[in-house]
Structure 1
Amino acid sequence: MLALVLAAQFMALLDVFIVNVAAPTIGSDLHASGADLQLVIAGYTITYSVLMITGARLGDRLGHARVHLAGLALFTAASLACGLAQGADELIVFRLVQGAGSALMIPQVLSLIQRTFTGEGRARALGVYSAVLAVGAAAGQVLGGVLVDADLFGTGWRPVFLVNVPVGVVLLLLGPRVLPLGGAAERERSRGLDVPGLLLLGGAVSLLTVPLVLGQEEDWPLWSWLSLASSAVVFGLFCGYESRLARRGGAPLIAPRVLRHPGMGLSVLRILAAMAVNGGFLFALTLHVQGGLGYSALRAGLTFAPTAVVFGVVGLTWRRWPASWQRALIPAGFVVAALGVTGVGLSFHGGGEGGAGLYLAFAGVGTGLALGFGPTLTRALATVRPEDAADASGLLATVTQLGQLIGVAAFGTLFLNRLESLGSPQAYTSAEALLTCTLALAAAAAVGAVSGLVLRRR
């Protein structure tokens, strides 16, 4: 069961990154404008983020395994449609549908882990889950480069979507045999579906996500700032409505006891920080090595391999480290991540390609982010009651995705603005912009560690 749901998780995460390296080929083949390419890349992320909580709640109502398989079927069909698309408009629509499929499929992964495993088994399963997140991000860059460069049978960019189809079909055939299609989830059907809450939260996330995804490319027009401000207002309305609903004895979208769960607020903060650093680091480094240093898509993807490998190894082994270390792992992880991203910036400084110290810095980034994210997620979910699995899973999955988006938007904007202000030559100025960005990333990681310590004391 774990292998099946994590394979689906890996495939969906892969699709966030794999399309980036295929964008130039898609643009030339479909005569797509810059705005079209933007929506091809971002459309998936937008619907994925907006509908994540909805997917979690539907799993709670209809059965996590059933909704997972329904999302997998939708994702697989949309992947086929993307691979066969004959125009940019078609591709954009199918990418939106693909993101909706992921939003149905992915929240069920954590819920199924919560309901299936207990104790040390749950901790191990969550460790594998964390490792899959890191490997999927790097593998998307690498696999995208391989498929585009190979140009299989003259199909150009299409295999980056079509590769999902055979994998999805196999998982759909195996799913009914290994997933628990009945049982615990059905007992939760009496809990109503909070439609007004879903609409308010979906609106708030949409107003936040769309400008984060599209704002930089559009040079942050007025509508993007109005949208961000409106998201805060709508989110306030959502919180007020949910509080009133809970007081009246209704069934709010996220159970108040989940939000009040000891350490949940701190966990949300740390996951946001870790994923923002991760998203900003990957984005800025991709821009530097492909734009500044002129790496091919494949070489750029391989650049991230050391970070992903170390993230995976640490994510799978940290529970076996000495017990006396466990309490300090998360803040120490943020400190190591801060040192690692700073080391990467210094290694590329001056326009060079780095040396032996670069790989040590990559290992530091992987180690730090694994310790900042993995133990935080495990501890947040370790004591959540099975009946609250959907609420906690949807909340943390959404926070993970939003953290990535915020990191790309904030640190990507910093990198690009610094690059523009410096001018030429490209390799040198790109390295300078990367150093500025990595110092900001280090500061964000440090805030994650310090704020966690302060909140723990309180």
Structure 2
Amino acid sequence: MTDLQIRATAAPAAPGTTARPGLLLLLVLTGQFMALLDVSIVNVAVPTIRTDLHASGAALQLVIAGYTIAYAVLLISGARLGARFGYSRLFQYGLVGFTAASLACGLAPNTGSLIGFRLLQGVGAALMVPQVMSLIQRTYTGAARARALGLYSAVIAGGMAIGQVLGGLLVSADLFGAGWRPVFLVNVPIGLALLAFSRRLLPVLPGDSSRRFDLVGLVVLAVALGLLVVPLVLGHELGWPVWAWVALAGSAAMFGLFGVVERRIAARGGQPLIPGRVLRAPGLVPAAGAIFLIMAGFAGFMFAFALHQQAGLGHSALRAGLLSGPVAVGFGLSSLHWQRLPQRLHLPLPMLALAVVAPAYLVFGVILRGGAEIGFGAEAVLTTAGLAAGCAYSPLFARALSRVDPADAADGSGVVVTVIQVGQVVGVALLGTVFLGEVSFPAPARTSGHALLVTSAAIALAFAAAAAFALRTRRAAG
């Protein structure tokens, strides 16, 4: 039995009903895809935003990371709010907020307001996205649920990568002379259409008013994440001042305090933000560790690769996006279809796949180290890396949740999706710092290529570490 089948058969019968389950799945996964798209769609618009708004390097990283900071910090709370007030209702509220913030981003007059609206966009996504897994779990059963979960995993895996391609198309098209703004405005008609259909398609799933809200845990976790991400984003640009190191040390202390707070709330009979029994589920912690490193490496690569192409090689946004296509397609396709591989390969698949991904990124960096154009050989290596990464990511996502109690499905998925988003934030911030530490644009292609090689080596190390975590998930997959 595969990981996704385990999850499908272990969950209870779904109480939600809908006359059009296929359309419902399309609705919620489109919302999920739209939120994930905005993590990466901005990457290829960075040079245009820099020129139009005269943004600094740190401000550009905040434009990218600000969204995922808010998204990551509030995802678990969004899951809890959905359980209390109703999953369908919170999906709609989040969709309204996300759509309105997207419009504001597209009309932003300066960098400061764009960063602020990106944070609000992340809040809307954090309310909307956790409800997707809960709606699937409560609306589909048996084989239909297994298929829905497979598509869910593929959307998460491919959303970020496809954003690179779509972003390139929108920026290069320069619709109505709007430059970078369509990468945000494209969400508005899609969001309005989803809202119109959601009123007819979303099932009626009343919330549980007995579910409490862990405000103390939320505040402590938000502070911990903020103290981690902000110095990573701003440290390089400001020359790593003392406050950055103090903040990083404070982040470690706040994560420790978060654990103490959560245990005390549970001991008093309360409902902590992350129940301890969820973290004790076999396979969840090592799978989440591997997923964190995979997403950090992937997000950091996409950020560095986009800058290398546009600022180092002089590619247009469209060309940069299209050259990211192979890794996007490979990642998405293998995430969706890995179960078609022979059953005997399912157990070792994440380790085998990561053993391919790590050297592939290193080889890719070596090929481009001298500032060479991106030819067939480099694209073939990148396609291989994408296919292999999807074969690791999707089984690990399933293993992370396969042994979580069905009653804790929303909390478990909230933890894993939060790990994904934090991994992306850390990847862009940390690996972006590695890349920008080796090159200061404008710079010759050779210097940019060397920076890409150094970054690719760091990414290869991240995937090698992910393989070590993946090895510890074998018991959960048995």
What is the rounded CA distance, in whole Å, between the counterparts of 2:49 and 2:42 in structure 1? Answer: 9
What is the rounded CA distance, in whole Å, between the counterparts of 2:235 and 2:83 in structure 1? Answer: 34
Aligned-residue CA RMSD (Å)? 2.4
What is the rounded CA distance, in whole Å, between the counterparts of 2:202 and 2:424 in structure 1? Answer: 29
What is the rounded CA distance, in whole Å, between the counterparts of 2:43 and 2:327 in structure 1? Answer: 19
Deviations 1:39-61 (A, max 9, x none): 43333222222222221211121
Identity %: 55
**In the alignment, what sits opposite 2:470?**
452
Distance 1:25 1:436, change over 3 A: closer
User: Aligned to 2:347, what secondary structure does the other structure show?
Assistant: helix
Query: How far is 1:126 from its partner?
Result: 3.0
Q: 1:429 aligns with which of 440, 444, 447?
A: 447
- Which residue identity is paired with 1:276? A
Deviations 1:229-278 (A, max 9, x none): 11111111110111122122221111211111111111111111211121
Q: 1:125 aligns with which of 126, 148, 157?
A: 148
Q: 2:415 aligns with which of 395, 415, 421?
A: 395
Deviations 1:400-437 (A, max 9, x none): 011112222232222222336xx997222222222222
Distance 1:450 1:119, change over 3 A: farther
Q: Are residues 1:3 and 2:3 paired?
A: no
- Which residue identity is paired with 1:429? T
**In the alignment, what sits opposite 1:438?**
456
Kept in 1, the 8 Å contact 2:98–2:125? The answer is: yes
Paired residues, what number? 453
Q: Are residues 1:256 and 2:276 paired?
A: yes
Aligned counterparts, 1:47-446, within 5 A? 47-183=70-206, 186=207, 188-419=208-439, 426-446=444-464
Deviations 1:156-180 (A, max 9, x none): 3332222111100000011122222
Scaled by the length of structure 1, the TM-score of the pair is 0.92
Kept in 2, the 8 Å contact 1:339–1:361? The answer is: no
- Which residue identity is paired with 2:452? L
Kept in 1, the 8 Å contact 2:362–2:456? The answer is: yes
Kept in 1, the 8 Å contact 2:283–2:475? The answer is: no
Q: Which runs of 5+ in 2 are unaligned?
A: 1-23
More divergent stretch after superposition (173-182 vs 325-334): 173-182
**In the alignment, what sits opposite 1:18?**
41
Kept in 1, the 8 Å contact 2:157–2:394? The answer is: no
Scaled by the length of structure 2, the TM-score of the pair is 0.88
**In the alignment, what sits opposite 2:19?**
none
Kept in 2, the 8 Å contact 1:347–1:355? The answer is: no
Distance 1:150 1:37, change over 3 A: same
- Which residue identity is paired with 1:178? L
What is the rounded CA distance, in whole Å, between the counterparts of 1:35 and 1:288 in structure 2? Answer: 17
Distance 1:457 1:52, change over 3 A: closer
Query: How far is 1:331 from its partner?
Result: 0.7
Kept in 2, the 8 Å contact 1:212–1:405? The answer is: no
Q: Which runs of 5+ in 1 are unaligned?
A: none
More divergent stretch after superposition (83-92 vs 396-405): 83-92
Distance 1:189 1:333, change over 3 A: farther
More divergent stretch after superposition (145-154 vs 7-16): 145-154
User: Aligned to 2:308, what secondary structure does the other structure show?
Assistant: helix
